[in-house]
Amino acid sequence: MSDYAKMHFETRAIHARQEPDPITGAVVPPIYQVSTFQLPSPDEAGEYAYSRVANPTVVALERAIASLEGGQHGLAFGSGMAATTAAMSLVRSGDHLLITNNVYGGNLQLLRDHLSHYNVIYDFVDMSDPSIVETAIRPNTRLLWTETPTNPLLQVIDIAQIAEIAHRHGAWLGTDNTFASPYFQNPLALGADLVMHSCTKYLGGHSDLVAGVLVTNAELYEPLFETRRTTGGILGPFDAWLMLRGIKTLGIRMQAHQRNALAVAHFLEGHPGVEWVLYPGLKSHPQHAVAARQMRGYSGMVTFKIKGGHAAAVKFIQGLQVFTSAVSLGGVESLVEIPHDMTHESMQGTAMDISPDVIRLSVGLEHAVDLTTDLEQALAAI
């Protein structure tokens, strides 16, 4: 077996833990669309027994993602929220969880509507300021949960600093790395204990699957595996196969996403109809220096505030021809949304509410000129 750990990302994405099938020689891991496996004997367990516990196609994916994130173990789930829920299960009744205050809206729903019933205590804080995190930690804080860049305001959180604070207080740090992808950022190398991806986004890359993954090292693997085994949240083999196909082109796709996003960000930054633009690759971004230090690139998400309020935002989106109004992100096609009305609707009326004139773009792989032309004509029509 080759030592892929010494090879570049693009090579690992295609080959790491994805060796040709030893029986047939197939160069792509086959889809083991099967629920149960023959055991060596009634009293002897085999490597596989039941696909709710483990499946060869899913295991191939888990090993590949672990290689890309520099972790020992991967665990694949039926969605990003299923993976997040398993991670949050590390927090027990009476424990305290600290979570970044600019976060995917589904996380608020998970904490408020479900985990709070189990006496899990939580606080949302601005994790872009480590001093605030230090002040917010309690003696019973068990887990800190970050996104970086965050959804949708693209805050960049200093993973190494937050990890140091967490570990000094005996807590774990989990990081949602969905927006950056493992191509641009590896939180485990910066001190995080656990990494989550909504693989529906960049890892899958084609808007044709829903999946999530956790990557971690030895300490947390067993409790997370047991949670998934017991609750049944494992990813299906066909979606695992689709994702294995997607990650083979992740490197080249992320380069193109970044190139187009930078062009879009520069265009919007100079447009009179735009109040402000957030993109970690812009020097105007508040945490640009942190991003430049801990990331290898800035990905494909751009967020901006349009002049004219919510009505202008709606009219702008209705006038777009190349960008599609839809939730989710990270696919080959460019998408646009108003987080206040869509992905972050659950935050309306809270301190974390997103202004209704803020627009989030997932910049796809179309030609950059076509994208900026589309934005220009839609802005001009308001």
Distance between CA atoms of 163 and 378, rounded to whole angstroms? 43
Cα angle for residues 17, 18, 23 (degrees, 5° grid) = 115
Q: Is 72 exposed, middle or buried (0-12, 13-18, 19+ CB in 10 A)?
A: middle
Please identify which residue in the block is written with the tokens 């995917």: 104
The two tokens of residue 218 are 């030895």
Whether the Cβ atoms of residue 328 and residue 80 lie closer than 8 Å to each other: no
Q: Is the peptide bond prior to 152 cis by the omega test (within 30 degrees of 0)?
A: yes
Greatest Cα pair distance in the chain: 73
Distance between CA atoms of 57 and 64, rounded to whole angstroms? 11
- Helix ranges (H only) for the chain are 9-15, 56-69, 80-88, 105-113, 130-136, 159-168, 181-184, 218-231, 237-247, 250-269, 288-294, 309-318, 368-380
Distance between CA atoms of 256 and 367, rounded to whole angstroms? 10
In the chain, DSSP finds a helix count (H) and a strand count (E) of 13, 12
The two tokens of residue 68 are 């890309």
φ, ψ of residue 129 to 5 degrees: the values are -115, 100
Whether the Cβ atoms of residue 246 and residue 204 lie closer than 8 Å to each other: yes
φ, ψ of residue 213 to 5 degrees: the values are -150, 145
Whether the Cβ atoms of residue 214 and residue 74 lie closer than 8 Å to each other: yes
Whether the Cβ atoms of residue 205 and residue 216 lie closer than 8 Å to each other: no
The two tokens of residue 312 are 């202008």
Residue 73's Cβ-side half-sphere holds a number of Cα atoms within 13 Å equal to: 13
Report the catalytic residues: 52, 104, 176, 201
